[in-house]
Structure 1
Amino acid sequence: MANDNIVQSVDRALKILDILASKREGCGVTEISKEMDLNKTSVYRMLSTFVKHGYVEQDAGTERYKLGYKVLELSSSLLDSIDLRTEAKMYLEELSQFTNEVIHLVVYDRGEVVYIEKLEGNETLRMHSKVGSRAPMHCTSVGKVILAYLPPSEVSKILEDHALEPHTIYTITDKETLYQQLNQIRTQGYALDLEENELSISCISAPIFDRTGKVAAAVSVSGPTTRMTMEKFDQLKDVMISIGKKISARLGYRE
């Protein structure tokens, strides 16, 4: 559906940035032109404008374009402006020292979660997550714990707009099953991801609330399923809930 408030040239320029963000090896003018169904002259002019301002760089050898450091500068400015990261820092470090596993801090944005902090821990673990990346809500513990505390109408819209795609054989793809689990999460105060997003990796998370009482974020511990057993989750659940409450309190939340 058309939106009269959209500036077409800006919309196209931002789509170019999205394409470059998805291509680590960079893109040529022709490649972008074909993907956007836009003439090469227009694509070249937009890229040249981005290059002038530092948002895009061109490799002198391959002549391919990739994102420039100005984008990273903007990202850093945004992250620095989020008080949540500052207020949560010492509690994330406390959790990291206690578990030696990967710690994530995420926020909710437009039907997905966005990782805004990640502590690697002392144990070796390769995960797809990284600061700035997005993840679905239905198959991550952080996503599910946020869903559990969002207004029902908002949850319904999210599930309408975002398909419950299977990421592994353990992903919940049935809405009714997911709703049942969300009810359980609200009762127990934490959520689990049992290899639902990445095989061999399991997670536990707790919600974080802002001063208005709305769920604002989530904190999680992730590790290989060989270590993150149900016995381990039983040991961690109260710790996770406590950390979530401590961060919430720093944001001004009062139960």
Structure 2
Amino acid sequence: MHRENVVKSVSRALDIIALVATKKGGLGVTEIANQIDINKSSVFRTLATLVQYGYIEQDFETQKYKLGYKFLDISSKLLESIDLRAEAKPFLQELEKTTNEVIHLVVYDQGEVVYIEKLEGNETLRTHSKVGKRAPMHCTSVGKAILAHLPDKDVLGIIDQKGMPYHTDHTITEEEALLDELKQVRQRGYSLDLEENEYGITCIAAPVFDHLGNVVAAVSISGPTTRMNTDRLTQLGPIMIQTTQQLSVRLGFVR
């Protein structure tokens, strides 16, 4: 592993977590220091920080350190995403089959969307998207589909934190214009990306809700603007809404 551009304290913390995870009964400061060749005071400081955040816990009887329950919290969030992928797969495959276009499933995370599934379709389309990649919310159909159903304070917080950077001449870069657009998305039930993220590519998306009624994901169809014209988008709109409503029901959503 190349250690350039690595923050030493973070690297040290991750090494300690990986080591502690291998021992069911936990490890003491000296054992950890000996195994990863870091002085005991540095190990102790790192462990103290990890304990404070819940990633490591100390057994007061043995004084040994072991993994904390914070990892269960994180893994449960990951599992929720994996369950979403499994539930969504048949719906995404049906969309791919009926449209032959690229289909995406994304989740919302820290002011951005993350692609967790991509079906390529039968048509050739060069896009920047790939599973695991993050994308901005203000200029993607999936992002706008989710933003439209977040509380206003969250939307304003995201805009404040991430800004509204220019991607193409069609990107919405004014807050008021985006808020107006999100109102339209709520009214019609789906969102559009009209070459706002990438030139030549148009997308349509709709939101997915969980059993609590919270927006948790979005599904989109992406294609070249030449194919994804106004008539086709009008035809795809009800299909997107129906698909994401059915998926939401699978996740326990009740209207």
Change (3 A) 1:11 1:154: farther
Counterparts of 2:227 and 2:209, CA distance in 1: 29
The TM-score with structure 1 as length reference comes to 0.71
Preserved CA contact (<8 Å) 1:79 1:116: no
Once the two structures are superposed, the pairs formed by residues 1-255 of structure 1 within 5 Å of their partners are: 9-10=9-10, 78=78, 82-255=82-255
Counterparts of 2:131 and 2:80, CA distance in 1: 13
Q: Unpaired segments of 5 or more residues in structure 1?
A: 1-6, 15-41, 43-77
Q: Unpaired segments of 5 or more residues in structure 2?
A: 1-6, 15-37, 39-77
Change (3 A) 1:229 1:162: same
Number of aligned residue pairs: give it. Answer: 189
Counterparts of 2:122 and 2:96, CA distance in 1: 8
Counterparts of 2:177 and 2:225, CA distance in 1: 22
Counterparts of 2:81 and 2:152, CA distance in 1: 30
Shift of 1:79: 7.2
Q: Write out the 4+ residue segments of structure 1 that deviate beyond 6 Å after TM superposition.
A: 11-14
Change (3 A) 1:222 1:12: farther
- The one-letter code of the counterpart of 1:177 is A
Q: Deviations over 1:188-234 (max 9, x none)?
A: 00000000000000000000000000000000000000000010001
Change (3 A) 1:122 1:175: same
Counterparts of 2:99 and 2:13, CA distance in 1: 44
Counterparts of 2:234 and 2:197, CA distance in 1: 21
Counterparts of 2:147 and 2:110, CA distance in 1: 12
Counterparts of 1:153 and 1:123, CA distance in 2: 40
Counterparts of 2:135 and 2:161, CA distance in 1: 14
Counterparts of 1:206 and 1:116, CA distance in 2: 16
RMSD: 2.2
Identity among equivalent pairs (%): 62
Please say which structure displays the higher CA radius of gyration. Answer: 2
Change (3 A) 1:249 1:10: same
- Name the SS of the counterpart of 2:144 in structure 1: helix
Shift of 1:163: 1.1
Shift of 1:11: 6.2
Counterparts of 2:223 and 2:88, CA distance in 1: 20
- The one-letter code of the counterpart of 1:129 is S
